[in-house]
Amino acid sequence: MKISEIGEFGLINRISRDTIINPKNILLGIGDDCAAYYASPDKITLITCDMLVENIHFTLSTCSPRQLGRKSLAVNISDIAAMGGIPRHTLLSLGASSDTSVEFIDQLAEGIKEEAKLFEVNVIGGDTVRSPLGLVINITLIGEVEPDLVVKRSTARPGDLIIVTGELGGSAAGLILLLEGEKYSAIPLNIAKKVKLAHLSPVPRIKEGRIIAREKIATSMIDISDGLASDLTRICEASAVGAKVYASEVPILPAAKEVGKLIKRDPLAFALYGGEDYELLFTVSPKKAENIVKLIKKELDIKLSIIGEVREKQEGIKIENLQGKVVDLQPKGYNHFRG
């Protein structure tokens, strides 16, 4: 069945089922002129949005509609994590051609609702339009954070240490295999599966972000969407500081290392420039660094890595490579990586 057969209202009816996960503060969800909810007293509202366009940000040849739905919301949740916040409500706008199948939209909405359920996010509204040129997904996410816990990008200080959660490079390696998989059929299935999963199903670091915020130790934070190099540069520019990263300390997903070896590409480049790992990158005073590493290991069993230090602005943004040579860390990101 095609969308044109059920029309916009039919479509909205299908999407708006089971959208309120946490009804506590909701006055009105989908179905009135506006959604309405009670904002939590004494919290700051965080708002973020992300627009994804078919064949620019994603291609339907590499992911299922369900995976696409989940990831579309996950990347927004990651932005809330990077502020130390909790995601609460989302609005979903979809552009699709009228011959898109209803089943496709059902799966896409299912993916979004699955992710929403996982993080207790209510889908409270949105819009649907006809888009003759392909699928467009626009997600707005509303979250909240205590005013004294919000973590900005602009407040890193020289002398702070730079820390990253989890492991990097998996998403970039996964994207290469998804796009050029037939060239690399010799790669063991379990390894290919791990990196593809890293690309298709990122896990936003909400719990980690909350602990980092709660402990009030981070002087700045960002989520890694465009690559460590680009996103660290964003912190440095916002904070008017420099940085030095040690290549030897950058945590790379073992499966991404394996893929790099097998396809003769540098896995460190996946980690630095690949992007879409959605790990958290933050800075802390050296006195607090070991503690937060231990705390998150203990509470969540997630590895944190100290990868470098914040320097004075005039020292620039540098990386000590594996040969011990200090060079500029170029803010090449995702787009560059994809050529």
Per-residue contact string for residues 218-237; x = within reach of Mg ion by CB under 5 A: -----x-x------------
Give the binding range for Mg ion (CB under 5 A) out of 92-100, 136-144, 216-224, 324-332: 216-224
Tell me: does residue 160 bind Mg ion (CB under 5 A): no
The least CB distance from residue 21 to Mg ion, in Å, is 23
The least CB distance from residue 152 to Mg ion, in Å, is 12
Tell me: does residue 167 bind Mg ion (CB under 5 A): no
Sign of the alpha-carbon dihedral angle for 27, 33, 39, 45? positive
Q: Where are the beta strands (DSSP E) in the chain?
A: 26-28, 36-37, 44-53, 86-96, 122-130, 136-145, 161-165, 218-223, 242-246, 280-284, 304-311, 317-320, 326-328
* Strand 86-96 with 122-130, pairing: parallel
The least CB distance from residue 201 to Mg ion, in Å, is 18
CB nearer to Mg ion: give 106 or 223.
Answer: 223
The least CB distance from residue 187 to Mg ion, in Å, is 30
Give the binding range for Mg ion (CB under 5 A) out of 215-223, 242-250, 295-303, 330-338: 215-223
Sheet containing 242-246: order of strands: 218-223, 280-284, 161-165, 304-311, 242-246, 317-320, 326-328
CB nearer to Mg ion: give 138 or 225.
Answer: 225
The least CB distance from residue 222 to Mg ion, in Å, is 6
Tell me: does residue 79 bind Mg ion (CB under 5 A): yes
- 25-58 as b/e: b if 16+ CB within 10 A: ebeebbeeeebebeeeeebbebebebebebeebb
Count of residues interacting with Mg ion (CB under 5 A): 3
**Site residues for Mg ion per CB under 5 A:** 79, 223, 225
